[in-house]
Copies of this chain bind each other. A is one copy, B any other.
Amino acid sequence: MTIYNFSAGPAVLPKAVLEKAQSELLDYKGSGMSVMELSHRSSWFEDIIKDAENLLRELMAIPDNYKVLFLQGGASLQFTMVPLNLAQGKKALYVSTGSWAKKAISAAKALDNVEVEVIAACENDNFNYIPELPKEVDPSAAYVHITTNNTIEGTAFQTIPDYGDVPIVADMSSNILANDYKVEDFGVIYAGAQKNIGPAGLTVVIIREDLIGDAKIAAPMLDYKIQADNNSLYNTPPTFAIYMAKLVFEWVKEQGGVAGITKKDQEKAGRLYDAIDNSDMFQSPVAKDARSITNIPFVTGDADLDKKFNAEALAAGFENLKGHRSVGGMRASLYNAFPAEGVEALVDFMAKFEQENGGK
């Protein structure tokens, strides 16, 4: 049975990347060592981390005045590092568009000397749209934080706000490399790797150099300046995860870069949204103008029927299709590595299920 893995993360990886990793797992390029066994100070690994950075710079067209950091701790640690580094003694503005945005807000509020203000929110409506943002914000604010794609709720920012000198900080964990956002529209971009980049345990941070300040940070590992000055090698980085990211970046480049992969992502998402919209049984709980192309929740409106669908889908090889417990129903995460044929198979399965269960 073919397995299609709709996991929201850690998520499906390109098969070609896994095969490459498998083929050199015991002997990286004739070194006689696994990548996992390479010293992070060796020229072997120096090449890997440099290549990973250069490929990401090329794919995202990252300007020279941005640093690329390979860190640990996930987006969750960035929820603290961002205000700690950028907003001590200042006001930090947040847009609350989902569960993860709320966690970012809560982490910022936990810091004594950061004044947190939520400038837009849509929680009252189960976060099923992107709220309208204010035209202007306090020009003395350290930043405006947004979550470009809301993994659980299935919404995404279609345009990035522009507040002049107040930089946009973005949690891009679930749609980095799956959109045509311009890096220069952001002050900081961060992303946990485990969706579109590689295995869990790696966090990518892209930060405009002038935002790497001299804030007093009592924890060296949480200081962007220390991490940037040491080119992500202040201590031992997650070497194998960085190697996997490099392989994924190479694969994205082969797919036609971000433009090429985004086109495929849009086609995959379009196919599923069409099936949902044309069905009498399935609906999308998300406002049309806010739809994510990477995380697509859908429901029947009947909890028992959702349950039946999920059970039969799982038995048919559709893994991790069950919706997040806070939303219910189903959720198909269609990251870059998710194959188009998996979407076709799901759409066919949905039609069959609808027919068998009293649908048209």
A residues within 8 Å of B by Cβ? 1-3, 5, 7-13, 15, 18-19, 21-22, 25-26, 31-34, 36-40, 42, 72-77, 79-80, 84, 106-107, 110-112, 192, 194, 198-202, 218-222, 234-241, 244, 317, 319-320
Contact = CB atoms under 8 A, between A and B. Distances in A.
The quantity of this chain's copies bound in the complex is 2
A77 B223 CA distance: 11
> Which of A221, A222, A319 counts the most chain B CB atoms within 10 A?
A221
Given A26-B22, A36-B10, A40-B10, A80 B218 contact: yes
B194 A76 contact: no
Contact of A202 (B12, B201, B234, B237): B201
8 contacts: A2-B32, A9-B236, A10-B239, A18-B34, A36-B198, A42-B320, A110-B218, A219-B219
Contact of A32 (B1, B36, B218): B1
Contacts of A32: 1-3, 5, 317, 319
A39 B5 CA distance: 9
A111 B218 contact: yes
Contact of A18 (B1, B26, B40): B26
A177 to B, nearest CB: 17
Nearest to A240: B199
Contacts of A221: 73-74, 76-77, 80
> Which of A22, A75, A199, A319 counts the most chain B CB atoms within 10 A?
A199
